[in-house]
Amino acid sequence: MSPRRAKRTDVDIENTRALEPKAGGTGAKAPPSPGKTKAGADGNELKAVDEVLSHYPAEEPSLIMVLQEINDRFNWLPPEAMNRVAGALDLPLAKVLGVATFYKALSLEPKGERTVKVCLGTACHVRGAGMLVDELKRSLEVEVGRGISPDGAYSLETVNCVGACAMAPVVVVEDNYYAHMEPGNIAKMLKKERPK
Amino acid sequence: MSKGNGRPFRDANALLARADRIRAQRAKLKHEIRICAGPGCLALGARAIHEEFLTQISEHKAELKQAGLALNTTLAEKCTGCHGMCEAGPIVTLEPEGTFYTGVKPRDAKKIVERTLLKGELVDKRLYELGHQRGGGKVEKYADIPFYSLQVRVALRNVGVVDPTSLDDFLAAGGFRGFVRALSEMTPDEVVTAVEDSGLRGRGGAGFPSGRKWRSALRVKEDRVWLICNGDEGDPGAFMDRAIMEGDPYSVLEGMMIAAYALGATDAWLYVRHEYPLAVKHLQMAIDTLENAGLLGDDILGAGMSLRIRISRGGGAFVCGESSALMRSIEGRVGEPRAKYVRSVEKGLYDQPTVLNNVESFTCVPAIIDRGAEWFASMGRDKSRGTKAFSLVGKVKHTGLIEVPMGRTLREIIYDIGGGIIDDRPFKAVQTGGPSGGCLPADKLDLPVDFDTLTRAGAMMGSGGMIVMDDHTCMVDVAKYFIHFLIGESCGKCVPCREGLRQVHDMLEKITSGRGEDGDLEKIERLCHTMEVGSLCALGKSAPYPVTSTIRYFRAEYEAHIRDKMCPAGVCPDLIMYEINKECTGCLICKDHCPTEAISGEKKKLHVIDEDACISCGICMSVCKFDAVDIKSGGVIVSRDEAVV
């Protein structure tokens, strides 16, 4: 019957980007480059995982929030990080993996520097979002949720609804919303967003 | 933007006194500039507009002062939640006169300050324009725009009105009156009775009477009751709860506080969807402010009540909007629903009694307590009382957020409020209720919108997404879309849902790719029936609705796909071809953009698409400036009006 109290965290999504480990990039906005992330979690990264873990009580109810925060920092969940989490929360690794694979917000694959998200809400769908996905898959040479474009710049995801239906179809690149998109202006958008 | 006076309120009177003081201050306001900072307007640059207003106000400080306008005493500015008319964003309104500017750009801030504030003139170019079928012309005040004048806002009462980050603003708008009344004038039992009498039914989709749920929780003899607010608004095309959480977080919390008082709950969770970071931010700010103000925590307003509200961010799983899955997710586990032999008011979160309501339901509660159950029950129809918020999206002119009394017809909502179909095309269907809902055709337009009528017609109220479709929407494709969506979101625990969805999807894929055979529809219908009766939770049970309702109302369209290998709406890629007509000026744009080099032609000469190389990506049509690309299906041009079947 004991109430399970999680420490409240300061939820400040707008600033989570700025909190990312500085190891990866020069600009505050640049997440770690895929090359670096792929190499796996080094000492610094595990330290970051431990820091995340220290914000939460070491019990099962913390699991999703811990994984979310780690995912926010690295853009994905490195295997070493999940091992560490399993150990710290005293859970079987299978349980951690089960949660990690169940929730869409958690990624088991490294991501490109920018994630292009195509909204597939119903409003976007009826206004032709499917064609945008096809075009992006073709021009980035990736699959939805899998792979990084050859230049390391982009990954592609679809989201169910970003709640900006008036602007349908919508494509979101990091924090920038592109309204009323058509297959014909995808190339222009990618050019504008490409990390310098 | 003051955030309260820093000291906790000792009792209810101190809180009401503060509200009175703020209102007295506000009475001095000559102008208030409200900048919409809803998701739509933000994406179109509302932040920059706000900054430009601040710059302009400080640059014109002397002149404004001369005109009797001083910032924060007689002139105020603020960012609010979503105004609803997202299509016309970014929106700026001026109060108290109610001037409504649409499509505002940062450079307009100067004009609005110089002309409207200083000279009392309007900036004509930014006024709302009536559609031609309504006689055209500009409208100055938003109360005169049909989109607004036909609405009744209860759940959305403060959205677009208050600054969501300011407790003072909320108090000035009558916030916490309901909570204070409940706490100081009513017994918990009376609060539950009021909610019962109001006829409030769960706004999240199921429509279960909230009062009855609360009553059964009162009957459970256990010390601890959990309270959960479900903000996991997963239905694609629905963003009412998002607008409320972002634009009026205090009302959500006030509703939860009243419920906690009625049910004796001391711990509450707010489960907010992962995709809504701004909602999380605003709610967390509101919770922190209320804790500092003595409205959350221990001994609230000196009345001995204790309540803690915590936020749990969802993980991006649609099924977690289902109550038992949501509770698992809060517990840190995989969000799988359970069979409901025992209801969650008896055994819910951590197997303890739990009351779960949706954001919109909670938001209605303070209004019901403040204005009385009879007032709420006086709106609506039959067993659906009060108002309901909808997100009106798709191929409708005024995409946006609306709220109407239950019982308005679909036609009133889509044509009178929504302004009709984009480009005045024919209406084909409206999809309500998200992936668990159904599609209703044109002959159902006069159906009143309430819980029971929609269910009888094969759709459902759901959380309030209303997606309008025109004749260029393929219903088979829409059904396939929802099934595809649900495949990704099914938790996989029970077989009828997990495997049924896959099989239905495969058969729909077969039909849309031109390989359909006679008998396929019957097979799909049988499988849908199995899913309806055999699935464990509401997700699986209702999953076939998009398919069964489209087969019921648009069977001919399915048959065209199967027998004639044709997509009458010109959507399904395998059944359509693109063709260049004689409008082509030979500008080479489509040729340059074609990813498979399927287009041949020279400058100023008619281009031709090679059907074998074409992958039906649609780029040529989207880049053509001369309307020279047609869609052909089954040998007929389907993209033009005259050939539409």
Give me the residues of A, 148-167, that contact B with CB < 8 A: 159-167
Q: What is the pLDDT of residue A118?
A: 93
Give me the residues of B, 518-557, that contact A with CB < 8 A: none
How would you write A58-123 as a 3-class SS string? CCHHHHHHHHHHHHHHHCCCCHHHHHHHHHHHCCCHHHHHHHHHHCCCCCCCCCCCEEEEEECCHH
B334 touches chain A (CB under 8 A): yes
Chain CA centroid to CA A67, Å: 11
Q: How far is B334 from chain A (nearest CA, A)?
A: 5
Q: What is the pLDDT of residue B69?
A: 84
Q: How far is A22 from chain B (nearest CA, A)?
A: 23
A27: exposed, middle or buried (Cβ count in 10 Å: 0-12, 13-18, 19+):
exposed
Give me the residues of B, 125-154, that contact A with CB < 8 A: none
Decide: B534 and B542 in contact? Cβ < 8 Å.
no
Instruction: Report the length, in residues, of chain A.
Output: 196
B473 touches chain A (CB under 8 A): yes
Q: What is the pLDDT of residue A35?
A: 41
Q: What is the pLDDT of residue A195?
A: 79
β-pair type (B636-637, B99-101): unpaired
Residues 6+ apart with CB under 8 A from B317: A102, A103, A104, B325, B329, B335, B489, B491
Nearest CA to B571 out of B508, B492, B496 is that of B508
Nearest CA to B468 out of B441, B508, B435, B436 is that of B441
A189 touches chain B (CB under 8 A): no
Question: Rounded to whole angstroms, how far apart are CA atoms B539 and A135?
Answer: 31
Q: How far is A160 from chain B (nearest CA, A)?
A: 6
| Chain A residues closer than 8 Å to B593 by CB | 184
Domains and CATH numbers, chain A: 13-102 (no CATH), 114-193 (3.40.30.10)
**B474, pLDDT greater than 60:** yes
Give me the residues of B, 582-601, that contact A with CB < 8 A: 593, 595
- Using the beta-carbon criterion (under 8 Å), do B275 and A160 form an inter-chain contact? yes
pLDDT digit string, tens, across residues B563-592: 999 999 988 988 988 989 888 998 888 888
**B613, pLDDT greater than 60:** yes
B102 touches chain A (CB under 8 A): no
A184 touches chain B (CB under 8 A): yes
**B411, pLDDT greater than 60:** yes
Residue A155 dihedral angles phi and psi, to the nearest 5°: -120, 160
| Chain A residues closer than 8 Å to B102 by CB | none
- Using the beta-carbon criterion (under 8 Å), do A99 and B284 form an inter-chain contact? no
Q: What is the pLDDT of residue B41?
A: 86
Q: What is the pTM of this model?
A: 0.85
CATH 3.30.70.20 at B573-643, yes or no? yes
Q: What's the CATH architecture for B475-563?
A: Up-down Bundle (1.20)
Question: Rounded to whole angstroms, how far apart are CA atoms B290 and B292?
Answer: 5
CA nearest to A63 within chain B? B332
User: B136-140, B264-268, B567-571 — which is least confidently predicted?
Assistant: B136-140
- Using the beta-carbon criterion (under 8 Å), do B236 and A62 form an inter-chain contact? no
CA nearest to A163 within chain B? B239
Q: What is the pLDDT of residue A166?
A: 76
- Closest Cβ opposite residue B618 in set A1, A13, A131: A131
Q: What is the ipTM of this complex?
A: 0.74
- Using the beta-carbon criterion (under 8 Å), do B399 and A104 form an inter-chain contact? no
Q: How far is A56 from chain B (nearest CA, A)?
A: 12
**B260, pLDDT greater than 90:** yes
Q: What is the pLDDT of residue A38?
A: 43
CA nearest to B589 within chain A? A184
pLDDT digit string, tens, across residues B489-527: 888 889 999 999 999 999 999 999 999 999 999 999 999
pLDDT digit string, tens, across residues A67-99: 988 988 888 899 999 999 999 999 999 999 999
Helix (H, G, I), strand (E, B), or coil: what is residue B206? coil
| Chain A residues closer than 8 Å to B595 by CB | 135, 138-139
Give me the residues of A, 71-110, that contact B with CB < 8 A: 98-99, 102-106
- Using the beta-carbon criterion (under 8 Å), do B469 and A68 form an inter-chain contact? no
- Closest Cβ opposite residue B478 in set A12, A126, A177: A126
Nearest CA to A98 out of B317, B535, B280 is that of B317
pLDDT band at residue B132, thresholds of 50, 70 and 90?
low
**B372, pLDDT greater than 90:** yes
Q: What is the pLDDT of residue B134?
A: 63
Which one-letter amino acid corresponds to residue A187?
A: A
**B645, pLDDT greater than 70:** no
Domain coordinates in residue numbering, chain B:
12-142, 175-377, 380-470, 475-563, 573-643
Q: How far is A52 from chain B (nearest CA, A)?
A: 16
Let me know if the fold of B12-142 is the same as that of B380-470.
Answer: no
Decide: A120 and A158 in contact? Cβ < 8 Å.
yes
Query: Span B392-400, mean pLDDT?
Result: 87
pLDDT band at residue B475, thresholds of 50, 70 and 90?
very high
Highest mean pLDDT among B71-80, B223-232, B369-378, B608-617: B369-378
Q: How far is B436 from chain A (nearest CA, A)?
A: 12
Query: Span A151-172, mean pLDDT?
Result: 84
CATH number of B175-377: 3.40.50.11540
B409: exposed, middle or buried (Cβ count in 10 Å: 0-12, 13-18, 19+):
middle
What fold does the segment set B12-142 form as a domain? Glutaredoxin (3.40.30)
**B146, pLDDT greater than 90:** no
CATH 3.40.50.2300 at B380-470, yes or no? no
Highest mean pLDDT among A152-166, B134-148, B344-358: B344-358
Mean pLDDT, chain B, rounded, equals: 88
Token output for A52: 């995340």
CA nearest to B242 within chain A? A163
Q: What is the pLDDT of residue B120?
A: 84
Residues 6+ apart with CB under 8 A from B299: B305, B306
| Chain A residues closer than 8 Å to B347 by CB | none
| Chain B residues closer than 8 Å to A139 by CB | 595
pLDDT band at residue B323, thresholds of 50, 70 and 90?
confident
Using CA atoms of B99, B100, B104, B108 in order, give the dihedral in degrees to the nearest 10.
-10
Give me the residues of B, 3-32, that contact A with CB < 8 A: none
